[in-house]
Structure 1
Amino acid sequence: MDDLYDEFGNFIGEDVDASEEESQHGVDAGAYLDDDAYPEDAPERTSQELMELDDEGPSNAVVLHEDKQYYPTAQQVYGADVETLVQEEDAQPLTQPIIAPVEVKKFSVEEADLPPVHFDRNFMSDLMNFPDQTRNIALAGHLQHGKTAFMDMLVLETHDITDRLDKRMGKKRDEQLRYTDTHIMERDRGLSVKAAPMSLVLQSTKGKSHLLNVIDTPGHVNFVDEVAASLRLVDGLALVVDVVEGVQVNTEQIIKHAVLEDIPMTLIINKMDRLILELRLPPSDAYFKLKHVVEEVNTIIENTQPGSGKTKRLSPEKGNLLFACSEMGWCFTLQSFSKMYADSFPGVNTEELAKRLWGDIYFNPKKRTFSRKPLPGEQSAKRSFVHFVLEPIYKLFSHTISQSAEELGPILSSLGIQLKPSQYKLDAKILLKLVCEQFFGPSTGFVDMIVQHIPSPVEAAESKLERYYTGPLDTKVAESMKKCDQDGPLVVHVTKLFNTADAKSFYAFGRVMSGIARPGMQIRVLGEGYSIDDEEDMAMATIGSVYIAETRYNVETDGIPAGSLVLLSGIDNSIVKSATLVPPKLEDDEDAYIFKPISHFTESVLKVAVEPINPSELPKMLDGLRKINKSYPLVTTKVEESGEHIILGTGELYMDCVLHDLRKLYADMEIKVSDPVTRFCETVEEMSATKCYAETPNKRNKITMIAEPLDNGIAEDIESGRVNMRDGARKVAKFFQDRYDWDILAARSIWAFGPDEMGPNILQDDTLAEVSRVKCLSYPLVDYFTRGAQYLTTHVLMGWLPRVPGHGSPLTLPTLA
């Protein structure tokens, strides 16, 4: 017994169970080997098969403690596809979950599904195949003049979302309105920051459907870059002006830009209800207020481009002016208002009546005729606009607000307005809105005005190419763009990038100039720096998806033809500001050309420096800066020689939105921002006291430069396009001779305007003709040329200098004279 245990008392003898198992195995093995137990017909077993019986090994194999498995693993319990985390106690605070839910970030308001609309979306996509029935327009104007509210009016007319509004009150109801304000900053601040495109199907007065691609633009003066990017894509402008505030600073800028860019314009005088409910003006005074606003706009048009008053004049009788109250949901032109009379009084000629409803035209109720002068003895005669338009509107407002439900019901019934009994008990403002919507009907007058005075994509294609296309206009590609040919090569002009809801990528927004944009197409992305000689700014890309832009939602489609606006995914990596999309290879191996970069109203002059609080997050901030540069058309990001990362913007609010997007949307980090600095622009007040010069490497030739101020008025003539270098040297010289009394030698020596083609500076060669001829002499006279070059005086501008109004003289501008 002593041999079975060691000195520590551990059993070291033979395991009884193991002995029994071995003996049992031996018995079994012997049974098989016994001839009596083995059937005669069984196959003979080889020694190899007998050896394989003990593959599993004995059950008493030694298992270390760390190799023993007392409990099943999490992988065995939950499966191999489930990720499991093991945390020790108190390793995380109670506010932080051990397994955090998946967070989906959304930085813009989006529709969960496609909202119901009053038109068939397939019909809308089919209308794109008919460019004659398509119009591309931009809504622009000053801040808080009602552009977004006007878009809401059109959205409520085309989208079935009234149920949402009826079920919500207060702030939740406001969220459904301002339909084109989707950015979180727009919702918080109550103003538009980004341009917002929407494609709508609207009917004219005659019941014909038209596709309107409308872009709602911001009104704040800091965000005019969005307006410029939108105006490049559209064929016309609908200018929105508050009737009380009139023409403001941003309105004037937009008018000047539209006139200089030769963009057709229409006018919407908005917030007409303020004349009645807020100012409480009598109808005759309201007429003069309206007339003053119209003349304000026309005066700016005439001053910007003298002589264009007749062709570009905006006036109600021409049909290119709309009276509107977007908050009450109504709008009309004189033509659409005349049709209301024609419906009630058969035999009235709509067009003839509309021509007599504006200006100093008076109605004689006795003779039922119109005259230019009031009747003798009637000093209080009313103009036809007051009598036929304003007074009925005033009466409608006063009856609806002041009278009880019992008295109001018969009056409204006589006008064909039917309301539910419960609606008479609503608030006066809501009741007035319901009455006006039924009285004025849908916005057919707006559609008539746009269709009549804004050209279709086919009609406007040629002028757009002449102004913005850098290539020749006699190629097959140019001819295809002029015709908006769907069968031609794909050409898309992209001017804007919109971030997705999660702000991780961008959609490219542009206009299809030729061909059809389809998903999966291979294209070349030509940047702003691309040219035939330098193809560095070019990249290959594949179109991911093609959408019809609807602001809060996008309608995916299998293709958008020429003449319409398009939203593309999958190509944003190669686009910074604007780009031109063309196929990998054009027909007949034609060269690809780009559209000119956007010419903006203003420049970025407010500068801040940014750096991450945590230095290790610098790559994250750089990626955010790249996205910021894509999102805002006029923002500039760069690294200065000191190593600072600089952001340049147009103003304080602009920079506030840029830095918010950098912190929250694109980088999701904390950054340090320096105090803002405004760039100081200098100009020229008098002739340079010293001459700057440059010498050739052999020190034999010298060219000198000086700068002088321009004469007053020259800068405006250059910027407005009254004089252009493309007109030819003779015509330019004659312009300066006749208008500014320049001598013929100085006028013919003008080389260029700058810094851009329409910049307010002049580069002029003031070299003496005798010395110039010396340059053409042969080699033996090089000594004489060297002596003559010492007296060579060339008046050129020392760098393109900025224009600073109000510095020195009324407009002291750099030039050479």
Structure 2
Amino acid sequence: MVVAPLLRLPLTGVRCVGRSYRPQFSAVKRDICPQSLQLNIDRAKSFSTSLSKWQVQDLDRTRNIGIIAHIDAGKTTTTERMLFYSGFTRRIGDVDEGSTVTDFLPAERARGITIQSAAITFHWPPGDGAESQPAIQDSSAPRSANSHTINLIDTPGHADFTFEVMRSLRILDGAVCILDGVAGVEAQTEQVWNQASTYNIPRVIYVNKLDRDGAAFGRTVREVSSRLAVYPAVCHIPWFEGGDGSFVGVADAVNLQGLRWKEGEDGRSVKMSSLEQLDAEEPALSEELRRARIALVELLSEEDDMIVEKFFECDEDHLAVSPMDIVDSLRRCVLDPTSRIVPLFAGASFKNMGVQPLLDAVVNLLPSPPEAPDPEVSIGGVKGGLRRLLSGDLIVKQSEEASQSSKGKKKKKGSHSVDPKDAISKLESCALAFKVVNDAKRGVLVYVRVYSGSLDRNSLLFNTNLHLSERAPRLLKMYANDAVEVDSIPAGHIGVVVGLKHARTGDTLVSYAGNKPTPPEPLTSLQLRPIDVPPPVFFTSVEPHSLSEEKRIHESLQLLLREDPSLHVTVDEESGQTLLSGMGELHLEIARDRLINDMKAKASMGRIEIGYRESSTGASGSVTKIFEKDVAGRRGKAGCTAMIEPFSGETSSDVTEDTILTRLIDGNNIVIRAPGLQVERVRDDEETSPFLPPGMDLETLRTALQNGALAALARGPQFTFPMHNTQVTLTINPTEHLFGSDTTTSALSAAARQATSAALRDLVAGPGTVMMEPLMNVIISVDEASLGSVVHDISSSRGGHILSLDEDVPVSATDASGSGSISEDPLPPIDPKRVYAPADPFESPSVDLDMPMSTSHQRTITAKVPLKEMVGYLKHLRSLTAGRGTFVMSVDRFENMSAQRQKAVLSELRGGF
């Protein structure tokens, strides 16, 4: 095969036949296994033998990417085309038929949506992998001239599965954001975009569905600038037959050529036209292509000095700048975290148009693992980058802060600290378990992203979240629902560990030299990109069919919790009911399907209810309780004093010297005080006191008292709902509440629980409590004609408050979208009029960009509505908008209910039960 002509083509791996270019798949064997995935097992097995030979230089030809978008924007459809053109599958799967590779769960195929993210590995350009192919050493050749390994993750789009998107985003090096060319930038698109910004993930944008009626590429480009606050670098413009006909291809502003696909075919055959040919055949398109190239070079020149130099070398001719110079400039802008330039491409995945150039863009523009932003880690309460940790600087900083805080406190003789460089040098691997799946055939699969070192088979993994060790008996490389066994997973790659009994989603796993069960102290607190789990707002009861099934039900529920930490399981003390809580109605429906249909649990699920909260309206008195009881033949005795008061959301300012803990958990603030407790620091991470019982340190005392208070707060005194916005102050007097060896951790927890419960009961006789309900951030997308009726329905019938129309509202820090606000200093807005966007075929040239373009133009309503009023709202919205309205919502906060509303809800609840 001749290499030189290949390097000049935008579609790598194609050969010239006259004016037609057809991808070659000669490297892909044709003995593909006739399974649902059509996976080439022979090629995968031969590939697995080379996995053990992965070297650092191979990481340069690896891409860990994800696809993020609003629901129904075409994520799974685009993924199917990527797998087909890479030679991974022989036929294109269809979402409507339930034949896609990545949507393999029965519930996904039945509903036609993505529920859980799927990981899949393929190669682009088609080949047997980066390991077996020598790199083409040519500075003028694009990166897409070499075969790259792409680890692709297809994420859900539904708002109920926001947490699933969050845990997948953490381990990505780059992302493809897909937009619907008809709907433009939708509400959920903004949410996932902000989530990706939280982790500084480089992105490219792909405008899909340009073949549909009503598609407006130019309007979508302007919405990208106004709603996503970035500068779209338009690399493709749509090619409509005759200027206003059907969508037939794209014009490439980077390579100055047209790419045309024949409608009705599988998309392998691409006709390429030079700028001169377009001048003769499509003069309007060629003129627009020149404007797009000029706008692209001008935009890059604003942020990249090197492209300015190339521009001057070309005698200030925008068209003379070479495509490789533009690609390199785009890549520099994508990798620069301060740049607001994002490359934008066009296509129609369902019609098999535009996917191959998108794959080239993934390889050419998105970063390899060594180039990706340094992931944030936390060790001993000190946060920093992973590279700082591996160099030893972060542990040195943590040791210095620990020694600073221990100044003036006595240090036990013989105490020593671990040499940071020695600790890091013996760290063999560091990985993040970002996903846990219960597979019917293979058991529990733990998906991991390895960040440093190499995770080997049979290595001993220490879980820094659970503080336990377990071996990794088997390692797999996943191909959606199929897998190949490997000996090791090196840094920068994604794989699966089979056989772990305790690892959960979000856990950090480390292995240490010598197979030591526990690494040195600083490393035991290492955390890789932790996620704040949002509070659940819906719950349902789970009842086993018989007592013999109860144990099996709880085992199945534990598996569900390992898979999805945004699910919660609690047991009601009075009724004994098991309650399953989640993020939304669909979320709990899917959990019910998994429990009953997939795990074959013999249980019944109650109706889905709203998770209300209870809050104190005033302060209680100080209540002291002494717990004294024999437990399991051992005497236990401890005391505690508790006081309850409302919590405003801000940490208490009256922190005194005797305060040993102030912690905010689930909306409640726990303050523990120990007057007269003389604290001594034994080691950098351990504190004790001569007043504590033998064998107990200060951290154990804190944990026991905290757990006791949390257990009491789980049930309100008046309405039995969990407490919220409540501050508990626990006081331990060493001379009155500690009784030597009789004071055990269980006795301390019991004393704290009894004292807190008594203080809560004291509230009923005093200031009382009030019910709280979830208040939701609701973003509704409707057409212009339906705007009035939807606004009236929200503000009058549902008791909501309209915040804005067609304006961006800052996401609350308690939003389910992640771990807080995106940026303390928001970037200045971008004027859409200054952004290049080609004119849409049916758009009036005199249209005002600030005004709606037609009655079908999408409008956005932002409101705050009580969750109770949003139950079943989708059906009502569809009836108001003739099926065109959509909405997303997330928890804003819990709000006190009025007396009238509280009475109505209580009567409904009592009548329902």
> Under TM normalisation by the shorter chain, which class is it?
0.5 to 0.7
| Separation of aligned partners in 1, 2:44 and 2:66 | 22
Letter of the structure 1 residue corresponding to residue 479 of structure 2: E
1:19-64: CA deviation from partner (whole Å, max 9, x where unpaired): xxxxxxxxxxxxxxxxxxxxxxxxxxxxxxxxxxxxxxxxxxxxxx
**Aligned match for 1:478, one of 364, 369, 390:** 390
Query: Structure 1 stretch 331-340 or stretch 186-195: which is displaced more?
Result: 331-340
Instruction: Work out whether residues 615 and 726 of structure 2, in 8 Å CA contact, stay in contact via their aligned partners in 1.
Output: no
Q: CA deviation at 1:611?
A: 1.3
| Separation of aligned partners in 2, 1:677 and 1:575 | 27
Q: CA deviation at 1:280?
A: 6.6
> Are 1:184 and 2:115 matched, yes or no?
no
Instruction: Work out whether residues 117 and 158 of structure 1, in 8 Å CA contact, stay in contact via their aligned partners in 2.
Output: no
| Separation of aligned partners in 2, 1:217 and 1:331 | 26
Which residue pairs with 2:586 in the alignment? 653
In the TM superposition, what are the counterparts of 1:107-146 in structure 2 within 5 Å? 114=41, 129-130=56-57, 131-146=59-74
- TM-score, normalised to structure 1, is 0.53
Q: CA deviation at 1:624?
A: 1.5
More strand by share: 2
Which residue pairs with 2:376 in the alignment? 464
> Are 1:547 and 2:476 matched, yes or no?
yes
Which residue pairs with 1:444 in the alignment? 360
| Separation of aligned partners in 2, 1:516 and 1:117 | 21
- TM-score, normalised to structure 2, is 0.48
Root-mean-square deviation over aligned CA pairs: 5.5
SS at match of 1:799: strand
Any unmatched runs of 5+ in structure 2? 1-34, 126-141, 241-245, 260-271, 278-285, 301-315, 320-344, 395-420, 627-639, 673-723, 729-771, 778-798, 804-863, 865-891, 896-913
1:147-180: CA deviation from partner (whole Å, max 9, x where unpaired): 1112112111212533x56xx9x99x9455x221
Instruction: Work out whether residues 137 and 238 of structure 1, in 8 Å CA contact, stay in contact via their aligned partners in 2.
Output: yes
Distance 1:116 1:174, change over 3 A: farther
Which residue pairs with 1:210 in the alignment? 148
**Aligned match for 1:269, one of 200, 203, 206:** 206
Instruction: Work out whether residues 430 and 508 of structure 2, in 8 Å CA contact, stay in contact via their aligned partners in 1.
Output: no
Any unmatched runs of 5+ in structure 1? 1-107, 299-312, 362-367, 372-391, 398-428, 529-536, 716-724, 734-744, 766-795
Instruction: Work out whether residues 127 and 133 of structure 1, in 8 Å CA contact, stay in contact via their aligned partners in 2.
Output: no
> Are 1:664 and 2:597 matched, yes or no?
yes
State how many pairs are aligned.
527
Q: CA deviation at 1:233?
A: 1.5
Distance 1:441 1:289, change over 3 A: closer
In the TM superposition, what are the counterparts of 1:288-307 in structure 2 within 5 Å? 288-298=219-229
Which residue pairs with 1:316 in the alignment? 233
Higher normalized contact order (CA 8 Å, seq sep 6+, divided by chain length): 2
Q: CA deviation at 1:608?
A: 0.8
SS at match of 1:489: strand
Distance 1:565 1:351, change over 3 A: farther
Which residue pairs with 1:516 in the alignment? 454
Instruction: Work out whether residues 629 and 635 of structure 1, in 8 Å CA contact, stay in contact via their aligned partners in 2.
Output: yes
In the TM superposition, what are the counterparts of 1:367-446 in structure 2 within 5 Å? 433=352, 436=353, 443-446=359-362
Which residue pairs with 2:493 in the alignment? 564
Letter of the structure 2 residue corresponding to residue 495 of structure 1: F
Letter of the structure 1 residue corresponding to residue 598 of structure 2: L
Which residue pairs with 1:639 in the alignment? 571
| Separation of aligned partners in 2, 1:448 and 1:243 | 24
| Separation of aligned partners in 2, 1:478 and 1:691 | 49
Q: CA deviation at 1:814?
A: 9.0
| Separation of aligned partners in 2, 1:245 and 1:755 | 41
| Separation of aligned partners in 1, 2:159 and 2:215 | 30
| Separation of aligned partners in 2, 1:637 and 1:329 | 52
Distance 1:798 1:631, change over 3 A: closer
Which residue pairs with 1:158 in the alignment? 86
> Are 1:676 and 2:608 matched, yes or no?
yes
| Separation of aligned partners in 2, 1:140 and 1:119 | 32
| Separation of aligned partners in 2, 1:488 and 1:329 | 54
> Are 1:578 and 2:527 matched, yes or no?
no
In the TM superposition, what are the counterparts of 1:573-612 in structure 2 within 5 Å? 573-575=502-504, 578-583=507-512, 584-585=515-516, 591-595=523-527, 598-599=530-531, 602-612=534-544
| Separation of aligned partners in 2, 1:513 and 1:219 | 27
Which residue pairs with 1:495 in the alignment? 434
Query: Structure 1 stretch 352-361 or stretch 643-652: which is displaced more?
Result: 352-361
Distance 1:458 1:156, change over 3 A: same
1:624-678: CA deviation from partner (whole Å, max 9, x where unpaired): 1122222223111232213211111112221111111111222x24322212111
Q: CA deviation at 1:334?
A: 4.2
SS at match of 2:595: helix
More helix by share: 1
Distance 1:117 1:519, change over 3 A: closer
**Aligned match for 2:116, one of 190, 194, 197:** 194
Instruction: Work out whether residues 252 and 258 of structure 2, in 8 Å CA contact, stay in contact via their aligned partners in 1.
Output: no
Q: CA deviation at 1:446?
A: 3.3
Instruction: Work out whether residues 61 and 149 of structure 2, in 8 Å CA contact, stay in contact via their aligned partners in 1.
Output: yes
SS at match of 1:233: coil
Distance 1:115 1:343, change over 3 A: farther
1:770-801: CA deviation from partner (whole Å, max 9, x where unpaired): xxxxxxxxxxxxxxxxxxxxxxxxxx973399
> Are 1:625 and 2:557 matched, yes or no?
yes
Distance 1:122 1:658, change over 3 A: same
Q: CA deviation at 1:322?
A: 10
| Separation of aligned partners in 1, 2:175 and 2:386 | 29
| Separation of aligned partners in 1, 2:645 and 2:577 | 34
- Select the structure of larger CA radius of gyration: 1
Query: Structure 1 stretch 588-597 or stretch 601-610: which is displaced more?
Result: 588-597
Instruction: Work out whether residues 338 and 353 of structure 1, in 8 Å CA contact, stay in contact via their aligned partners in 2.
Output: no
> Are 1:232 and 2:166 matched, yes or no?
no
| Separation of aligned partners in 1, 2:149 and 2:381 | 26
| Separation of aligned partners in 1, 2:451 and 2:45 | 29
In the TM superposition, what are the counterparts of 1:785-796 in structure 2 within 5 Å? none
Distance 1:330 1:216, change over 3 A: farther
Instruction: Work out whether residues 476 and 496 of structure 2, in 8 Å CA contact, stay in contact via their aligned partners in 1.
Output: yes
SS at match of 1:555: strand
| Separation of aligned partners in 1, 2:385 and 2:152 | 28
Instruction: Work out whether residues 65 and 153 of structure 2, in 8 Å CA contact, stay in contact via their aligned partners in 1.
Output: yes
Letter of the structure 1 residue corresponding to residue 223 of structure 2: H
Distance 1:808 1:357, change over 3 A: closer
| Separation of aligned partners in 1, 2:440 and 2:156 | 20
Q: CA deviation at 1:550?
A: 1.7
| Separation of aligned partners in 2, 1:762 and 1:324 | 59
1:69-127: CA deviation from partner (whole Å, max 9, x where unpaired): xxxxxxxxxxxxxxxxxxxxxxxxxxxxxxxxxxxxxxx96667627589966667756
Which residue pairs with 2:158 in the alignment? 220
Instruction: Work out whether residues 324 and 332 of structure 1, in 8 Å CA contact, stay in contact via their aligned partners in 2.
Output: yes
SS at match of 1:315: strand
SS at match of 2:228: helix
Instruction: Work out whether residues 461 and 481 of structure 1, in 8 Å CA contact, stay in contact via their aligned partners in 2.
Output: no
Letter of the structure 1 residue corresponding to residue 62 of structure 2: T
| Separation of aligned partners in 2, 1:330 and 1:240 | 17
Distance 1:479 1:565, change over 3 A: farther
SS at match of 1:198: strand
Letter of the structure 1 residue corresponding to residue 196 of structure 2: A
Distance 1:523 1:605, change over 3 A: same
| Separation of aligned partners in 1, 2:114 and 2:56 | 32
